[in-house]
Amino acid sequence: MAKYMENSVLKSKDFNWGNVPLLKYKEEDGTFRSIHRQVLSCGAPDLPCEMRYFEIAPNGHSTLESHEHTHLVMIIRGRGNVLIGKKIHEVKAFDVLSITSHEWHQFQTSGDEPFGFICIVNNERDRPHRPTPEELEELRKDPVISSFIRC
């Protein structure tokens, strides 16, 4: 059973919500670089979602993955490039991204400023799936994607 929010206001300073723990992006290692997260809300019974803030340092990236659950993302800091499905998008603060089920996705910082975004997910969600060698080969058939992805 998810732990739900209470009424609260989280004060931020410099893209940090001070009383919220800074967490490792993921427990397993090797598929991402220079990224941390903060869980800002764990939703409510009638809004069973998590609101997370992720921040990727310059030259960093998230894991290349897909999964059944949807991501709703708003960039709030810096600039980056994001693979969604078969397209790479240049994005900046306040752009909004929707990533639907089973689309490959990866976030990468561009420029020398941290790249930060809010990501909302359902509380009940499946584990991310990383590409098999066969899926990676399929992805790499597109030269633009092939030169973009880091894994």
How crowded is residue 124: how many other Cβ atoms within 10 Å of its Cβ? 9
Burial state string for 50-77 with b = 16 or more CB within 10 A and e = fewer than 16? bbbbbbbbeebbbbbbbbebebebebbb
Which residue bears the tokens 């764990």?
42
The verdict on whether 42 is a catalytic residue reads no
Output the six-digit token pair for 63.
């894991």
DSSP 107-133: EEEESSS-EEEEEEEESS-PPPBPPPH
- Active centre residues (catalytic): 119
